[in-house]
Structure 1
Amino acid sequence: MSDVVLIYGGNSLQSRLKGIKDYAERYLDERSISYESINVIDLPATDLITANFSSSAIKEANEKVEKANAVIILTPVYKASYTGILKTYLDLLPQKALKGKAVLPLMIGGSFGHLLAIDYALKPVLSSLGATTLLSGAYVIDQHVQRGEGDTYVLDEEAIERVSVNLQTLEEELKK
């Protein structure tokens, strides 16, 4: 069992959103908080699109969510909302899959014009999945995450502050 499961709802593992995921994983590692990741893009597309609840890959992902004490949802903003690929996976979670778990949404977008996407697009869906401990979440502007050498990303101070404060709150929730 992991303390945290990260659900990566990006359409690519080569995006700035991965920089936020990498930062969150380092944060958890440094504090010896166990975690697992679900990269929705790695789940079988046919199973996602056809809502194949009996898929072994979907069942395995759902089991990770079920066993975790907390969930971090990562998504870019597309069309003032979260990604369709994330939605296809969230639709395959059991109705109250997030009940009793601390849930932290982390979003990245091109401007602060979509800052409220967390509150008006993502949080209602998370609430419908039973999330009662829904943390405020962090919205990061993509220009605050730069590509580093190789497959790495560097968050600037503003992004680090936004994400760290929320990860600290999640850590406090795990201690309760």
Structure 2
Amino acid sequence: MSVVVVVGNPKPKSRTLLAASRVAERVAGRPPDTVIDLVDFGAQLLDWSSPAVAHAVEQVQQASLVVFASPTYKGSYTGLLKLFLDRIGGGALRDVTAIPLLLGGDLRHSLAPEAFLKPVLAELGASSPTRGLFIVDKTWEESPELAAWLQYEEPVLERIRARLGTKAAA
């Protein structure tokens, strides 16, 4: 039962990556097994014969839980994440529980995970039983948005943890 984080931030080792890893740990009750920082692939994301990208896609398809994270760009997720998602066939994530996560500078973008990322994940077959999560990037470490989301979604998160065989993270 693997837990994977996929981050579409064009900046390596970004706040988005740190926040997504924290969300995965809080949801799963343990750190993620795999963190895929898409910026590390560079132009390989455009090369459909890249074995490294194919391996990352395979890890996502075989995961139990995936946090898909991106900064908010122009009110939506990044092209970097879009390039990766385009590599996944329709329905290929049917056994995956997905958490859509976007970080951004202003709560006015707080519907972006629901409006733009969650529908793409559904098209790929993923189940997203929680609301999409938006976190203000400048306060991601204290994140009142994450605390409120965790409290609201706790009944659903308990079912996810039960499936993973874990308990809530402290």
3-state SS of 1:108 partner: strand
- Provide closer, same or farther for how the CA distance between residues 25 and 173 of structure 1 changes in structure 2, counting only shifts above 3 A: closer
Instruction: Report the RMSD for the aligned CA atoms in angstroms.
Output: 2.5
Unaligned runs of 5+ in 2: 164-170
Q: After superposition, where does 1:73-88 map in structure 2 within 5 Å?
A: 73-88=68-83
Deviation at 1:119, TM superposition (A): 1.5
Deviation at 1:103, TM superposition (A): 0.7
Unaligned runs of 5+ in 1: 146-154
Counterpart residue number, 1:148:
none
Counterpart residue number, 1:40:
38
Counterpart residue number, 1:97:
92
Counterpart residue number, 1:149:
none
Q: After superposition, where does 1:1-176 map in structure 2 within 5 Å?
A: 2-24=1-23, 26-27=25-26, 31-32=29-30, 35-43=33-41, 45-50=42-47, 52=48, 54-145=49-140, 155-156=141-142, 158-162=144-148, 164-165=150-151, 168=154, 169-170=156-157, 172-176=159-163
Q: TM-score, normalised by structure 2?
A: 0.81
Same amino acid, percent of matched pairs: 30
Partners of 2:93 and 2:152 in 1: how far apart? Answer: 18
Q: Which amino acid aligns with 2:144?
A: E
Partners of 2:81 and 2:160 in 1: how far apart? Answer: 24
3-state SS of 2:126 partner: coil
Query: Matched residue pairs, number?
Result: 162
Q: Which amino acid aligns with 2:147?
A: E
Asked if structure 2 preserves the Cα contact closer than 8 Å seen for 1:135 and 1:166, the reply is: no
Partners of 1:101 and 1:68 in 2: how far apart? Answer: 6
- Provide closer, same or farther for how the CA distance between residues 166 and 102 of structure 1 changes in structure 2, counting only shifts above 3 A: farther
Higher strand share: 1
Asked if structure 1 preserves the Cα contact closer than 8 Å seen for 2:71 and 2:102, the reply is: yes
Kindly provide the CA deviation profile for residues 26-65 of structure 1, in whole angstroms up to 9, marking residues without a partner as x. Answer: 5478x3465211111112x323134x1x211111101111
